[in-house]
């Protein structure tokens, strides 16, 4: 049986990483953005060179909020819209793709495979491009994702444990791994954790949570991040800062040497 070929969105992300060294992914929480407000922001993100828009949030409960926002973004820009679901409520048909993710270090099997089983038929019916991703929560900050996802977060001073989980994700067939410090975290994923994970795996490493300045973005890219996610910085609507962060991500990742 021939292997399924990569979907359009995944190919675009991989090409972006290959061409720019690293990419920026913009996270919009449908509970924070009404379509009106999102439309000018998305145009600015596209101009600045963001690679895609992720839609999701830990407490999303109304699918209509997600679909309204997805529709608007697709009407206003060419950026791919990728669902970043907290559960079934985050799975809608109006997006291009879905990060089909497992919260690897949850203590509750629902977040590892249960929600995914319930969502899988929907993903198929909607024809969403599924991009398998291992999602790993790092650090001691009390964040919504850690609480809701019942995670056993990996301590920042145990980079080898993060690397083990990331490698397990790769061997389980995930094609991306996401190191998450939690939205608004005051302690973004430390460079040593990113470095150790990057050394361990061959799949792209996405890093997010608390990346609020170009310096923090550059630090993460320098340590090996292939993609940087920012959400809170965009919510704050300081688009000048967001544009600088996107610029910092897209610059050649000199520190990493490759």
| Shorter beta-carbon distance to ligand 1GP: residue 54 or 200 | 54
Instruction: Specify whether the CB–CB gap between 226 and 205 falls below 8 A.
Output: yes
Q: State in angstroms the smallest separation of the CB of 252 from ligand 1GP.
A: 23
Instruction: Specify whether the CB–CB gap between 186 and 109 falls below 8 A.
Output: no
Q: State in angstroms the smallest separation of the CB of 205 from ligand 1GP.
A: 13
| Shorter beta-carbon distance to ligand 1GP: residue 236 or 254 | 236
Interface residues toward ligand 1GP, by CB under 6 A: 27, 180, 183-185, 208-211, 229-233
| Shorter beta-carbon distance to ligand 1GP: residue 180 or 226 | 180
Q: State in angstroms the smallest separation of the CB of 28 from ligand 1GP.
A: 10
Instruction: Specify whether the CB–CB gap between 253 and 198 falls below 8 A.
Output: no
Q: State in angstroms the smallest separation of the CB of 208 from ligand 1GP.
A: 2
Q: Which residue is nearest to ligand 1GP (CB)?
A: 208
Q: Taking the CB of residue 193, how many other CB atoms lie within 10 A of it?
A: 30
| Shorter beta-carbon distance to ligand 1GP: residue 6 or 134 | 134
| Shorter beta-carbon distance to ligand 1GP: residue 6 or 243 | 243
Pairing of β 97-103 and β 227-230: unpaired
Q: State in angstroms the smallest separation of the CB of 4 from ligand 1GP.
A: 28
Q: State in angstroms the smallest separation of the CB of 132 from ligand 1GP.
A: 18
Task: Please give the helix or strand (H or E) that residue 198 lies within, else none.
Answer: helix 191-200
Instruction: Specify whether the CB–CB gap between 208 and 245 falls below 8 A.
Output: no
**Whole-angstrom distance, CA of residue 54 vs CA of residue 212:** 17
Q: State in angstroms the smallest separation of the CB of 180 from ligand 1GP.
A: 5
SS3 110: helix
Q: What is the C-alpha end-to-end distance of the chain, expressed in Å?
A: 35
| Shorter beta-carbon distance to ligand 1GP: residue 116 or 183 | 183
Which residues, 6+ apart, have CB-to-CB distance to 102 below 8 Å?
A: 111, 112, 113, 116, 133, 134, 135, 169, 172, 174
Task: Please give the helix or strand (H or E) that residue 230 lies within, else none.
Answer: strand 227-230
| Shorter beta-carbon distance to ligand 1GP: residue 116 or 143 | 143
């Amino acid at each position: 049986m021939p292997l399924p070929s990569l979907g359009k969105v995944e190919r675009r992300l991989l090409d972006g990483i290959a061409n720019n060294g690293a990419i920026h992914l913009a996270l919009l929480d449908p509970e924070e953005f009404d379509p009106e407000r999102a439309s000018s922001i998305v145009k600015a993100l596209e101009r600045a060179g963001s690679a895609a828009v992720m839609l999701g949030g830990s407490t999303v409960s109304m699918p209509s909020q997600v679909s309204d926002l997805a529709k608007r973004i697709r009407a206003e820009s060419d950026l791919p819209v990728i669902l970043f679901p907290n559960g079934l409520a985050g799975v809608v048909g109006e997006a291009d793709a879905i990060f089909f993710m497992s919260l690897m270090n949850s203590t509750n099997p629902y977040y590892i495979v249960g929600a995914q089983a319930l969502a899988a038929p929907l993903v198929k019916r909607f024809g969403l491009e599924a991009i398998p991703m291992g999602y790993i929560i790092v650090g001691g900050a009390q964040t919504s994702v850690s609480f809701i996802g019942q995670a056993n977060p990996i301590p920042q001073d145990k980079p080898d444990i993060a690397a083990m989980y990331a490698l397990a994700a790769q061997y389980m067939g995930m094609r991306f791994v996401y190191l998450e410090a939690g939205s608004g975290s005051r302690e973004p994923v430390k460079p040593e954790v990113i470095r150790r994970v990057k050394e361990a795996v061959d799949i792209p490493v996405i890093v997010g949570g608390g990346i609020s300045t170009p310096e923090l973005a550059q630090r993460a890219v320098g340590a090996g991040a292939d993609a940087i996610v920012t959400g809170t910085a965009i919510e704050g609507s300081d688009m000048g800062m967001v544009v600088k962060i996107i610029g910092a991500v897209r610059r050649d990742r000199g520190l990493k040497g490759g």
